[in-house]
Amino acid sequence: MSTYEIGQQETDEPTVDLPPARDLAVADTGAGLLVYEIEREYREHIGREAEIARRLIGFADVTNWGVIAEAVRARGGGHGDVLHLPEYGLTELPDPAMDL
């Protein structure tokens, strides 16, 4: 029987492809990055697309899964997100300094 820590996964499933960088945002928790997919919708009254939602899709560069779990809970997510969402490589993500 294997022992798992939060966020570590052993699987034979293929890795999940990320959406285009334009549709990603990251939040730096100090112990790793939360990776979000952005949903946009065209708003006629302002003449452009506006962000209408963000959905947590994974993590990157995690050094402390306990802090990540607290950050997810503070943003309304559950413990299952930490256990089941993938961890991505930093080279696949946009620069966190570019996000608000």
pLDDT at 20: 63
In the numeric block, the tokens 């993500």 are attached to 93
pLDDT at 24: 87
Per-residue pLDDT tens over the stretch 6-22 = 444 444 444 567 766 66
Residues of the chain with pLDDT under 70: 1-16, 19-22, 94-100
Classify residue 80 by its DSSP letter. H
Q: What pTM value is reported for the model?
A: 0.71
Dist. CA 64–CA 99, nearest whole Å: 22
CB half-sphere exposure, 72, CA atoms < 13 A = 29
The residue type found at 71 is: A
> Would you call 45 helix, strand, or coil by DSSP?
coil
Dist. CA 81–CA 72, nearest whole Å: 8
